[in-house]
Structure 1
């Protein structure tokens, strides 16, 4: 066995098993936190806080000790070619549409809480799905990595979607998570920078938390966003296919 083979990490030797372990540990953590919060009658944000704060600490420790920040996409925004900044324009459009629903009256303390809460969620979920899982699966092919990471991202959000919502809202939220996951994964492969994805994820969730309640009155907004993201995924997929065919080394994470 060669030195190079010996030095390969567990995730490189067993990518599928590594992804399964990561997803199962995340789901178990959130489920256990949810059970505890239910028993103690804590707020609806408690399960995420109880599970994501230690997960964030582990991620920061792991990225730092292993010097993996750059490897998982934490790079200067200047590393994104200027001509590709247009790639992120549809994300801005999504944020504008979400903001058009309006905002509810909210106090400073609640505003600060949601700021921290949504930043935490954005960091943890992007680090896991568009950082670790996507990167682990890339040797299996870009299509496999993008689709699998997006499906797992959607599966994780099923737990949130099943909390008393009607069937239409539940279906919309699952499809929404799947399409958003696909778009962000394609962006990650194309530009190899996770910071804009964390920023979008954070702002998107923050606007939703401080905005008006997402009821049936805003169904038209949701359908518009779904159509926009679906077209966005097609555009990104075609752009990535063209990039890979002309510059095959660009989609690798070095």
Structure 2
């Protein structure tokens, strides 16, 4: 006998959002750990673990988003979808990029620049799609706070992998705090405007400046780093205030739109 009032089917991520996020994070870490082991055995350079792990991940993400038609739902939409009055919320990101650029740049060559353009664009696409796209969207079904806080913490934890490559513990702790604040700011922007494209562009340029920048001593970068941390703290506070002031409950858009607060 056919049940005329059959219940609508829900995806695994809808039924088990927390477990889905845990699985995504574990798979990402496993891929990076495995790539790191391969790079160590074969004595490859420091960019190899990311290239080995992120390249297939990027391909899988593009196939998944295309076949499931989830590009728009994940935040890949025209920049014109961002309200004109919200352009000001991206200004602090330009301040961060400008501060990083003040450190100067090392010796540049066409091959070096071309390689790091590809490398940093790959990292930006994968990390933003996973943390501010998939994970953020999954947890948004529980609450905006859960989406922002959890995605930011997981983004920060991922940078613990740098400690395994021999990075000094003080530098790792500073990077964890930096990644947490930066992740929170980008997640709040995602909540505010629902568009992941500016976040990928920022992440790409941010990392490109860092990789092409001067290798200054720790004491030389500390003033810049502390200033950026202060900017990010104030930035997060501003975004939280703006979101809470304009709407305590985010409005729901169409099937192809993320939550946007106007």
Structure 1 stretches of 4+ moved >6 Å: none
Aligned to 1:253: 258
Q: Of Structure 1 and Structure 2, which has the larger fraction of its residues in helix? A: 1
**1:152, 1:221 → 2: CA distance?**
25
Q: Are the structure 2 counterparts of residues 214 and 184 from structure 1 closer, same or farther at C-alpha, using a change threshold of 3 Å?
A: farther
Kindly provide the CA deviation profile for residues 169-216 of structure 1, in whole angstroms up to 9, marking residues without a partner as x: 111100000000000000001100000000000000000000011531
**1:63, 1:81 → 2: CA distance?**
25
Secondary structure of the 2:208 match is: helix
**How many pairs align?**
252
Identify which of 205, 211, 217 aligns with 2:207: 205
5+ residue gaps, structure 2, are none
Matches within 5 A, 1:8-47: 8-47=10-49
5+ residue gaps, structure 1, are none
Aligned to 2:167: 165
Secondary structure of the 1:41 match is: coil
Aligned to 2:241: 238
Matches within 5 A, 1:222-237: 222-237=225-240
- Deviation, structure 1 residue 250: 5.2
TM normalised by structure 2 equals: 0.92
Kindly provide the CA deviation profile for residues 32-84 of structure 1, in whole angstroms up to 9, marking residues without a partner as x: 00000000000100000000000000000000000000000000000000000
Q: Are the structure 2 counterparts of residues 86 and 243 from structure 1 closer, same or farther at C-alpha, using a change threshold of 3 Å?
A: same
TM normalised by structure 1 equals: 0.95
Q: Which has the larger radius of gyration?
A: 2
**1:214, 1:145 → 2: CA distance?**
36
**1:230, 1:214 → 2: CA distance?**
24
Q: Over the residues paired in the alignment, what is the CA RMSD in angstroms?
A: 1.6
Identify which of 113, 123, 127 aligns with 1:111: 113
Identify which of 218, 223, 226 aligns with 1:220: 223
Q: Are the structure 2 counterparts of residues 97 and 250 from structure 1 closer, same or farther at C-alpha, using a change threshold of 3 Å?
A: farther
Q: Is the 8 A contact 2:163 2:169 kept in 1?
A: no
- Deviation, structure 1 residue 107: 1.3
**1:204, 1:190 → 2: CA distance?**
21
